Amino acid sequence: MKAISLVVGIGILLWGGVFLLPGLLPGALAVAENNHGHEGFSPYVDQEGNISRPTGFRQNWVHLGTWYVPDNKQAVGPGFHAVYASPGTLEAYKNTGKFPDGAVLVKEIRAIKSKLLTTGNAHWAGDVKLWFVMIKDRKGRFPDSPIWGAGWGWALFKAGKPSVNVNHNWKRGGLSNCYGCHVPAKQTDWVYIEGYPTLRPQE
């Protein structure tokens, strides 16, 4: 009985059949990696609005869906585009139909690998090429920052320099021209939700 009281007293929770401290739950693991962020908003945003790339999302976040963009002359960013959402985002979206303040979306773009296998001409994800990061800001915290706009923070990280956001303006600039790519999805909060079956109510 003393042992049980001790467990309850220090607030250990049962998750998936394993005892874990609340601070070590999978969702907490995903956000604890970068705890120097903007107070009360996001661990991936500093006081000036600079955005850092989350890590551990593949293991600890929710996979929303994957796009396949064939490598042809029409493609701007060919590859496998796998998109992940930070803990709590899925539940909030299904309850309200909106992305909550502080929600983080990470799109990881990988090269296309292919080979004729017994199942047919198979294609799969190769090495990482880029990461796109979007962070929902419902309060307009950084009105003077060119990487924040339309209710989101926008960032782009290349595989060779994963700690450097090479997006300097969300409305301008080559591959990091977030506006040009996302304006067709303006009516759905700038996100192509049709590509994310995990967000659908019946899923």
| Of 198 and 75, the one with more pLDDT | 198
| pLDDT at residue 17, rounded to an integer | 39
Asked if residue 164 belongs to a domain, the reply is yes
CATH number of the domain encompassing residue 109: 3.50.70.20
Alpha carbon distance 61, 104 (integer Å): 10
Asked if residue 69 belongs to a domain, the reply is yes
Answer whether residue 20 shows pLDDT above 60: no
Classify each residue of 113-144 as buried b or exposed e, where b means 16 or more C-beta atoms within 10 Å of its C-beta.
eeeeeeeeeeeebeebbbbbbbbbbeeebbee
Q: Say which residues have a Cβ less than 8 Å from residue 33's Cβ, sequence separation at least 6.
A: 43, 54, 55, 56
Asked if residue 121 belongs to a domain, the reply is yes
Q: pLDDT digit string (tens) for 126-171?
A: 999 999 999 999 999 999 999 999 999 999 999 999 999 999 999 9
Segment 112-121 shows an average pLDDT of 94
Segment 9-21 shows an average pLDDT of 36
Domains identified in the chain, total number = 1
Asked if residue 1 belongs to a domain, the reply is no
| pLDDT at residue 75, rounded to an integer | 74
Q: Say which residues have a Cβ less than 8 Å from residue 56's Cβ, sequence separation at least 6.
A: 29, 30, 33
Alpha carbon distance 104, 186 (integer Å): 17
| Of 187 and 19, the one with more pLDDT | 187
**Residue 127 carries which side chain, given as an amino acid letter?**
D
Predicted TM-score (pTM) of this structure: 0.79
CB atoms within 10 A of CB 55: 15
Asked if residue 60 belongs to a domain, the reply is yes
- For residue 116, the enclosing domain spans 33-199
Answer whether residue 175 shows pLDDT above 90: no
| pLDDT at residue 141, rounded to an integer | 96
Residue 58 to residues 23, 63, 64, 124, Cα–Cα distance (Å): 19, 8, 11, 16
| pLDDT at residue 38, rounded to an integer | 64
Asked if residue 17 belongs to a domain, the reply is no
Asked if residue 57 belongs to a domain, the reply is yes
Query: Where is average pLDDT lowest: 89-98, 106-115, 139-148, 167-176?
Result: 167-176
Asked if residue 151 belongs to a domain, the reply is yes
| pLDDT at residue 76, rounded to an integer | 78
Q: pLDDT digit string (tens) for 22-79?
A: 333 333 333 434 444 566 799 999 999 999 999 999 999 999 999 999 888 777 788 9
Q: pLDDT digit string (tens) for 122-137?
A: 999 999 999 999 999 9
